[in-house]
A and B are shown apart, each in its own frame.
Chain A
Amino acid sequence: QSALTQPASVSGSPGQSITISCTGTSSDVGTYNLVSWYQHHPGKAPKLMIYEGSKRPSGVSNRFSGSKSGNTASLTISGLQAEDEADYYCCSYAGSSTWVFGGGTKLTVL
């Protein structure tokens, strides 16, 4: 059960769009359309942003969207805002009530 692969960092200017990729295997991302994404500000609890690949919880801005192709899931943030600066983690169900996280991506808003 290896960690999902995410870029270590991404950056964008306010108003721009960025995409964070999350690559797994046929044992997790590829088999289950059950990737969730979490926003994590240091020192705070992680916050669910996307679940089941592309669904947004109530209260999460529609600037956040998710998708999947094959073994890779993606999180896109459009109309970047300063408050979006945080660490982002993908997480995939891996069967038998087990999960695996990505290594995390630090988003910098320039």
Chain B
Amino acid sequence: EVQLVQSGAEVKKPGESLKISCKGSGYSLTSYWIGWVRQMPGKGLEWMGIIYPGDSDTRYSPSFQGQVTISADKSITTAYLQWSSLKASDSAMYYCARRAGSSLNYFDYWGQGTLVTVSS
């Protein structure tokens, strides 16, 4: 069974760093792109970026380029989303999602979400 399991909720202060994770199981992580999606409170889904763990090819939405870093460790079948200096506006739910195939352009499995709260 394909599963994406995300790390737990985080409460951080502005300026702190954070790295959240998305661990894939039930399939070969290195063969599928993993994307990240943000949902701010009361708002819609926003596509942030995507990584191919097999070779770490990474693409970002222009809105998130330079604001976050997406990475992956294929040896432990895990993708990451990280911030070097959090802002209050980073408070949101973050989802990871699997691109259904390298030539397919939709997301077939999703993680349960990681709630990030940034507050002083």
Contact = CB atoms under 8 A, between A and B. Distances in A.
Nearest to A102: B44
A79 interface: no
B106 A51 contact: yes
Contacts of B105: 32, 34, 36, 52, 93, 99
- Size class of the contact patch on chain A: 20 to 34
A19 B61 CA distance: 28
28 contacts: A34-B106, A36-B106, A36-B107, A45-B95, A45-B110, A45-B111, A45-B112, A46-B37, A46-B95, A46-B110, A47-B110, A51-B100, A51-B106, A51-B108, A52-B105, A89-B45, A93-B105, A97-B50, A97-B57, A97-B59, A98-B47, A99-B35, A99-B50, A99-B105, A101-B45, A101-B47, A104-B43, A104-B45
Interface of A: 1, 3, 32, 34, 36, 38, 40, 44-48, 51-52, 57, 87, 89, 91, 93, 96-104
Given A1-B61, A45-B95, A91-B47, A97 B33 contact: yes
A40 B112 contact: no
Contacts of A96: 59
A76 B60 CA distance: 31
Nearest to A47: B110
Interface string B97-113: 10010001111101111
Given A38-B45, A44-B112, 16 more contacts: A1-B61, A34-B105, A34-B106, A36-B105, A36-B106, A46-B95, A46-B97, A48-B106, A51-B104, A51-B106, A52-B105, A89-B45, A98-B50, A98-B61, A100-B47, A104-B45
B66 interface: no
Given A45-B111, A46-B95, A91-B47, A1 B63 contact: yes
